Amino acid sequence: MAEALIYLDPQSPLSLQSQIRQRVVEGIIGGAFPAGSRLPSTRKLSQQLGVARNTVVLAYEQLIGEGFAETRDRSGIYVRENILRGRVGHTGSPAPAPNLDAGWRRKIRIRTQAEPGFHVPRNWQLHPFPFIEGHFDDSLYPTAQWREASRLALGTRFVEDGSVNEDDSDDPALVEEIRTKMLPRRGIAASPDEILITAGEQNALYLLSRLLADASTTVAMEEPGNPRLRQLLRQSGAELIHQGVDAGGIVVDERLAQAQVVCVTPSHQVPTAVTMDKARREALLAMAAQRDQLIIENDFDTEHNYLGSPHPALRGMDRENRVAYVSGFPRMLSPGLRIGFIVAAPELIREARKLRHMVVGRPSLQSQRTAALFLSLGHYDAAMARLHTVLGRRWDALRQALNHYHRETEITLPTRGGTSLWVQAPAYVPVVRLADAAARRGILIEPDAHYYGQESGSRNFYRLGVTSLPEDRIREGVNQLEKLVRELSGEHVPRLDPEDPGLLDGERLAALLPGAVIHYRTFYSDPCTIELHPGGHMTGRSGQSDEDCDEGRWWVEDDLYCRQWGQWSYGEEGRYQVTLHDNVIRWWRPGGRLVDSALVELAPDAA
């Protein structure tokens, strides 16, 4: 019976009434309820589905209102006769023979290189520890606020609004909001003719790469750098300079000076999250002026600097109109909205607008107005303030956990914020192997190979992001990752020589350590000094200017050095075996595996 087609899905986001209507329409279009046939009675259907009869009545009324069905006096509700008018109807012809498909292959004029890729598993959210930058856990979306802005934008009738039309003008309300609310946060002043709305940031980069790069052009980009940008530049035929990144950002040198166009991500470099420092920014702009270069600045995670205050964008420092600035609505504000923008010289904006017209047309005014309302209602500022807090806590938790658990390597490119860290795996643990093994334990990390444009590929780094998992999972995720690193390290991690461990016994420890000063580096290459005071008290100072201090106590027990900090290392007690050779002190896990080492100054009176 055709009414068996009508069923309800309790998981559906649709109301019962909507679901009933949907099923009936499917039945009509699919032919299960032919034109002129009688639909199941409301009484029968409500019993069958176990819903209130009125729900069925309302669904049927809607179908009648829409012309799908009609009532006939006293005899029920029928599918309307001419409802399928205007349809060709399925010819029943088979789909074209697939073996002819190959004919297309030699007719396709350009081939897009597949982007070298890291593909996040589709079920990433089922992994307990998805350290995946750019994926977002649900709690971050300001859903109610987007709904409000969307609802209001749906109520806007652009067709009634003389100020926009079927030409290529953007929504003036959005341009104004970006100009007065988003850009000043980045230190950028712009007039409306310097702003173009694009269908997302990728679309903005595409337009700029088409306009500014071709086979006669030399373009520099960061190494490691954004693989989607690299793909665009390669497709343009431009000669590429893969320019290294250090702690200050892209390296500005004679090699970079060879480029005509320089692509950079100064706010947080992709993928290292390094913030370009002020001196480097000035050097880059000075070189651009001297060598007549153009700069494409892609602003990522612009405002999430937790240490120190954010720098203005290059575009904000640019006195010569050499910078084309690309940014967008953060994806973690709206997964559905594709709104990016370019801020650049009017001449370039004019050309980009013409190219946009060909490529994709103006981004939907409805989407533009939604974004404008989200900004004008203050939701953008509120959401960014909230994200700053939430992501700042997560970032801090990640840093602490790495410092606590990861002792094999250091962070070589320190960051001041952002939403990810760029970590080097130990040389003897290939990062692809690490990522595979980690994924099997529910830990997702992103290996580095696709960020490099040069042949050599991976430098054995990986990226850990915090946008995709809550703060309280971070520590445990890092702990489990570190355990895995240790397992994979095998014999590479120094162990005590079981024949001659050379361990200090409790008596020696108690004699040597009082008054000792331990010189150390944190995971982030910051200096750290620990003083073991004779009475069992200890003080720690860390950071470039001792900005991070803690106190704790130390003692000796069962031939072990024991310590407990107030805050550091989560305030947990640690118990270690100790060796001392020359002035290097090493801590060993009971059982013989190296935990860490440091330089030590013993007190002059230590025995």
**Residue 10 in the binding site for a copy of itself (CB under 8 A):** no
Residues 6+ positions from 262 with CB-CB distance below 8 Å: 219, 220, 221, 243, 250, 256, 284, 288, 293, 294, 295, 296
**Residue 162 in the binding site for a copy of itself (CB under 8 A):** yes
Please tell me whether residue 504 adopts helix, strand or coil conformation: coil
Task: Give the number of other Cβ atoms within 10 Å of residue 75's Cβ.
Answer: 8
**Which stretches within 155-250 are classed as H helix?**
172-177, 201-212, 227-236
**Residue 213 in the binding site for a copy of itself (CB under 8 A):** yes
Q: Which CB atom, from 279 or from 385, has the smaller least distance to a copy of itself? A: 385
**Residue 536 in the binding site for a copy of itself (CB under 8 A):** no
- CA–CA gap between residue 276 and residue 434 (Å, rounded): 30
**Residue 308 in the binding site for a copy of itself (CB under 8 A):** no
Query: Residue 411: in which H helix or E strand, if any?
Result: none
Q: Token pair for residue 25? A: 């329409």
Give how many residues touch a copy of itself by CB under 8 A.
Answer: 155
* Interface region with a copy of itself, contact rule CB under 8 A, candidates 192-200, 395-403, 469-477, 539-547: 192-200
Q: Which CB atom, from 66 or from 246, has the smaller least distance to a copy of itself? A: 66
**Residue 223 in the binding site for a copy of itself (CB under 8 A):** no
Query: Residue 103: in which H helix or E strand, if any?
Result: helix 102-105
* Interface region with a copy of itself, contact rule CB under 8 A, candidates 37-45, 61-69, 275-283, 494-502: 61-69
Q: Which CB atom, from 327 or from 542, has the smaller least distance to a copy of itself? A: 327
Return the closest-CA partner of residue 230 out of 202, 250, 256, 259. Answer: 202
Q: Which CB atom, from 119 or from 581, has the smaller least distance to a copy of itself? A: 119
- CA–CA gap between residue 44 and residue 46 (Å, rounded): 6
Residues 241-270 touching a copy of itself, rule: CB under 8 A, are 260
Please tell me whether residue 340 adopts helix, strand or coil conformation: strand
**CB 293, CB 250: distance < 8 Å:** no
Give the nearest distance from C-beta 422 to a copy of itself in angstroms: 20
**Residue 604 in the binding site for a copy of itself (CB under 8 A):** no
Q: Is 237 left (phi over 0), alpha (psi -120 to 50) or beta?
A: left
Give the nearest distance from C-beta 478 to a copy of itself in angstroms: 23
Q: Which CB atom, from 3 or from 408, has the smaller least distance to a copy of itself? A: 3
Q: Token pair for residue 130? A: 């998805």
Q: Which CB atom, from 234 or from 508, has the smaller least distance to a copy of itself? A: 234
Give the nearest distance from C-beta 439 to a copy of itself in angstroms: 15
Q: Binding string, 548-567, against a copy of itself, x = CB under 8 A?
A: --------------------
* Interface region with a copy of itself, contact rule CB under 8 A, candidates 32-40, 111-119, 419-427, 446-454: 111-119
**Residue 88 in the binding site for a copy of itself (CB under 8 A):** yes
**Residue 37 in the binding site for a copy of itself (CB under 8 A):** no
> Positive or negative, the Cα torsion across 279, 283, 289, 295?
negative
- CA–CA gap between residue 195 and residue 192 (Å, rounded): 5
**Residue 365 in the binding site for a copy of itself (CB under 8 A):** yes
Give the nearest distance from C-beta 479 to a copy of itself in angstroms: 26
Looking at 50, 336, 591, 604, which residue binds a copy of itself (CB under 8 A)?
A: 336
Looking at 48, 235, 480, 529, which residue binds a copy of itself (CB under 8 A)?
A: 235
In angstroms, the Cα distances linking 94 to 2, 31, 90, 91, 451 are: 26, 19, 10, 9, 44
**CB 496, CB 577: distance < 8 Å:** yes
Residues 265-304 touching a copy of itself, rule: CB under 8 A, are 292, 294, 303-304
**Residue 440 in the binding site for a copy of itself (CB under 8 A):** no
Q: Token pair for residue 31? A: 């032919």
Amino acid 205 reads: L
Q: How many CA atoms lie within 13 A of 331 on its CB side?
A: 13
Q: Which CB atom, from 358 or from 607, has the smaller least distance to a copy of itself? A: 358
**Residue 74 in the binding site for a copy of itself (CB under 8 A):** no
**Residue 72 in the binding site for a copy of itself (CB under 8 A):** no
